Amino acid sequence: MAIMQIKKYPEEILRKKTDEITKINGDILKLAKDMLETMYFFSGVGLAANQVGISKSIFVSDIKPEGKKNPIIVINPRITSSKGGVYSEEGCLSLPGIAAEVKRSKTIRLLGLNTAGKEIDLEVEGLLARIFQHEIDHLNGNVFIDRINPLKRWRLKREYFKKK
């Protein structure tokens, strides 16, 4: 396993929709393990493949990165339904030092595949729903600041680029 380099905004790969995974093989399994190790190393709770420079539709997450690990790996994820709306602060490993209140669905239903190629059908809420939506946004070429009003986005970008 290896720690991978996190791609930082505004790198081009973060703005492109990732490719669907058509075959789950050793390379995909290694990618998932490396992504988990990278996410834990950087104290994240989610990581999409394009954040480490790989244009594949896979993300990893774990809402207990400091305690007992409970990793979730989803291949070719898609949200099939959502309910409610709630604002909460979000940050991102690809935009270090930046955070903003983002509105997300409170509850979502997610379909995808696990690393054995079996279908996953999950209904999640709260933090896990927020993480899944954030990572799926990445896989679709979006970052969390795309979901805030233009003036606030401009201010955050300005702050972000001053820090770089």
pLDDT in the model for residue 164: 73
Q: What is the pLDDT of residues 1-60, one digit of tens each?
A: 799 999 999 999 999 999 999 999 999 999 999 999 999 999 999 999 999 999 999 999
pLDDT in the model for residue 65: 61
Domain that holds residue 71: 12-163
CATH classification of the domain holding 34: 3.90.45.10
Q: How many domains does the chain have?
A: 1
Strands 46-48 and 58-61: antiparallel
Q: What is the pLDDT of residues 60-101, one digit of tens each?
A: 999 976 678 899 999 999 999 999 999 999 999 999 999 999
Question: Does some domain include residue 2?
Answer: no
Reduce the secondary structure of 75-94 to three states and give it as a string: EEEEEEEEECCEEEEEECCC
Whole-number Å distance between alpha carbons of 48 and 137? 9
Strand partners, 102: 88
Q: What is the pLDDT of residues 125-147, one digit of tens each?
A: 999 999 999 999 999 999 999 99
> Is residue 14 within 8 Å of 7, Cβ to Cβ?
yes
Using the Cα atoms of residue 35, residue 40, residue 41 and residue 47 in order, give the sign of their dihedral.
Answer: positive
- Judged on CB neighbours under 10 Å (0-12, 13-18, 19+), 140 is middle
Res. 116: pLDDT tops 90: yes
Question: Does some domain include residue 1?
Answer: no
Q: Which of 11, 66, 101, 135 is labelled catalytic?
A: 135
> Is 135 annotated in the active site?
yes
Question: Does some domain include residue 3?
Answer: no
Residue with tokens 């279908």: 119
Question: Does some domain include residue 4?
Answer: no
User: DSSP readout, 110-126?
Assistant: EEEE-TTS-EEEEEEEH
Whole-number Å distance between alpha carbons of 21 and 47? 16
Q: How confident is the model at residue 163 (pLDDT cuts 50, 70, 90)?
A: confident
Q: What is the pLDDT of residues 73-84, one digit of tens each?
A: 999 999 999 999
